[in-house]
């Protein structure tokens, strides 16, 4: 009948009669559930519902991982290959330095004087006056930072320049 909604029990009963699909046990709550052939083919036969899937994946999406599987105990561990430079640039100290520079300069580009407005987005970046690689002792000094917009920052010379180290 057109527009007639069948109950879940009725659909399961008909599917079992045609021998299509199968029963599975949920990995999280161990509840028995039915899956149709196309769901089985796509691999949707491990959890009975989204909350059970979410419980099983807890912490994985946040980058925390499952307890006991961090670092060298993780099967995908590659021997600590994250470059030191990347680790320093993504550290909490670097983020705090960047925020401090933005606050000091009032989120305004120091080269062109532009600032982000409601319908006019302007990307700002923190620029090291003395290079990050050449002067490791000045990496997190607020006086060595300057707020620049993306356009002005791209105009700045790249790479290690020769500086007089005093």
Q: Delimit the domains of the chain by residue range.
A: 8-61, 88-155
How far apart are alpha carbons 60 and 58 in whole angstroms? 6
Looking at residue 35, its pLDDT comes to: 87
pLDDT in tens, 54-76: 887 765 544 455 666 777 777 88
Q: Which residues pair with 23 in a beta bridge?
A: 34
Q: What is the mean pLDDT of residues 112-120?
A: 84
- Give, as one character, the DSSP assignment of residue 108: B
CB neighbour list of residue 156: distance below 8 Å, 6 or more residues apart: 127, 148
Tell me which residue of 141, 146, 112 sits closest to 129, measured CA to CA: 146
pLDDT of residue 87 exceeding 90, the answer is no
How far apart are alpha carbons 99 and 11 in whole angstroms? 58
Q: What is the mean pLDDT of residues 160-166?
A: 54
Tell me which residue of 144, 147, 143, 142 sits closest to 112, measured CA to CA: 147
Residues 144 and 138 sit within 8 Å (Cβ to Cβ):
yes
Cβ neighbour number for residue 117 with a 10 Å cutoff = 8
Q: Which span out of 4-8, 138-142, 160-164 was modeled with the highest average pLDDT?
A: 138-142
Mean pLDDT, the chain, whole residue set? 82
How far apart are alpha carbons 58 and 102 in whole angstroms? 35
List the alpha helices (DSSP H) in 43-91. 50-56, 84-89
Looking at residue 61, its pLDDT comes to: 47
Q: What is the mean pLDDT of residues 134-153?
A: 92
Instruction: Pick the more confident residue, 86 or 4.
Output: 86
Residues 47 and 32 sit within 8 Å (Cβ to Cβ):
no
pLDDT above 70 covers what percent of the chain? 87
- Helix, strand or coil, per DSSP, at residue 63: coil
């Amino acid at each position: 009948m057109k527009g007639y909604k069948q109950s879940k029990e009725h659909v399961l009963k008909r599917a079992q009669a045609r021998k299509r699909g199968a029963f599975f046990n949920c990995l999280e709550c161990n509840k028995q559930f039915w899956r149709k052939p196309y769901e089985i083919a796509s691999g949707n036969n491990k959890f009975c519902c989204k909350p059970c899937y979410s419980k099983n994946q807890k912490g994985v999406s946040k980058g925390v991982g499952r307890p006991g599987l961090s670092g060298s105990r993780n099967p995908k561990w590659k021997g600590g290959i994250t470059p030191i430079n990347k680790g320093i640039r993504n550290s909490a100290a670097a983020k705090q330095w960047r925020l401090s520079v933005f606050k000091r300069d009032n989120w305004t580009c120091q080269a062109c004087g532009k600032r982000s407005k409601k319908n006019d987005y302007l990307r700002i970046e923190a620029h090291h006056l003395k290079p990050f690689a050449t002067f490791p002792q000045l990496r997190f000094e607020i006086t060595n930072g300057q707020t620049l917009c993306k356009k002005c920052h791209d105009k700045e010379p790249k790479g290690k320049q020769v500086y007089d180290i005093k």
